[in-house]
Amino acid sequence: MIWWPTHTPTLSHGLITLRPLVESDITNIFSSCQDPLIPRFTRVPRDYTLAHAEFFVREKVPHSFAQKTELAFAIDYGNGGDEVFAGVISFHSVNLADHGAELGYWINASMRSKGVGASAARQLTGFGFESMGFERIEARVDVENEHSKRLLLSVGYTLEGILRKVSCRADGPQVDMALYSIIRSDWQGI
């Protein structure tokens, strides 16, 4: 059975904190999503506006949480009062009956290549297995997103295969996605 929290918890390990999204994250999310790599490799719209960020924080995240379909976090990097907003990570496409979810994330351009994404993914994956009770966690990655593919492998995910023409980019073309997964019995912990 899956345990669903009554509120989004705060999870910390080392310099990475996963915390509930709050109103003050709206401008950071908006600014971060102006980076063309984020809409290229995620479902974030290319013409991301402040209204998109407001909707995400104020409506989508609370509604998805209440429906038990997504558990989203802000990623902060640093400690001792020097924390910097580094991105967003979530379990989405949650399937409570099958004890599984999909991991999704994007990292602010200034925080890439610092291990932030891998640390956040490792931390949330551990929470999914150890606290929530998931048996399987998946991640779908655009086949051209080499950084994200390496990140998932470094956390312990396994490439299962390529899903051909499974996703439509915002700019139109249908693209292949690499399917990664990790199951509870393969989890090594943080």
Whether residue 171 is predicted with pLDDT greater than 80 in this model: the reply is no
Mean pLDDT, residues 81-96 taken together = 95
Mean pLDDT, residues 67-88 taken together = 94
pLDDT digits (tens, 9 = 90+) for 17-61: 999 999 999 999 999 999 999 998 998 998 999 999 999 999 999
The domain spans of the chain are 11-135
- Pairing, β 100-107 against β 84-95: antiparallel
Percent residues over pLDDT 70 in the chain: 98
Inter-residue contact 20 to 10 (CB < 8 Å): yes
Average pLDDT over the chain reads: 95
Residue 166 has φ and ψ, to the nearest 5°, of -95, -15
Fold observed for domain 11-135: Aminopeptidase (3.40.630)
- Pairing, β 136-142 against β 158-168: unpaired
Task: Give the other-Cβ count within 10 Å of 189's Cβ.
Answer: 9
Beta strands in the chain (DSSP E): 11-13, 16-19, 71-77, 84-95, 100-107, 136-142, 158-168, 174-183
Inter-residue contact 53 to 21 (CB < 8 Å): no
Task: In whole angstroms, give the CA distance from residue 66 to residue 145.
Answer: 31
Angle ∠(107,23,151) on CA atoms, nearest 5: 15
